[in-house]
Amino acid sequence: MMERWWWKIRYSVKGVIFPLICIQFLHTLFLPTGLDVFILFVLFLIFLGFILNIY
């Protein structure tokens, strides 16, 4: 049941993650903090998981 729910929204999440990474990257460039770098790293790992079909 949960797998079907995930497969329905998977492409929507995939389409939202990339713009979030771009916005977070710009924010990290202009106002870098440790938290911003960590958030960017986590978003990158999530995006990498989508590219490698882990999620």
Domain boundaries, the chain: 2-51
30, two tokens: 């202009």
pLDDT tier for residue 1 given thresholds of 50, 70 and 90: low
Note the pLDDT tens digit of each residue in 16-32: 999 999 999 999 999 99
pTM of the model: 0.79
Residues 6+ apart with CB under 8 A from 21: 40, 43, 44, 47
Q: Where are the beta strands (DSSP E) in 1-55?
A: none
What's the pLDDT at 6? 72
Residues 6+ apart with CB under 8 A from 24: 36, 39, 40, 43
Phi, psi angle pair for 53, to nearest 5°: 60, 35
pLDDT tier for residue 2 given thresholds of 50, 70 and 90: low
Say which DSSP state 52 is in.
Answer: T
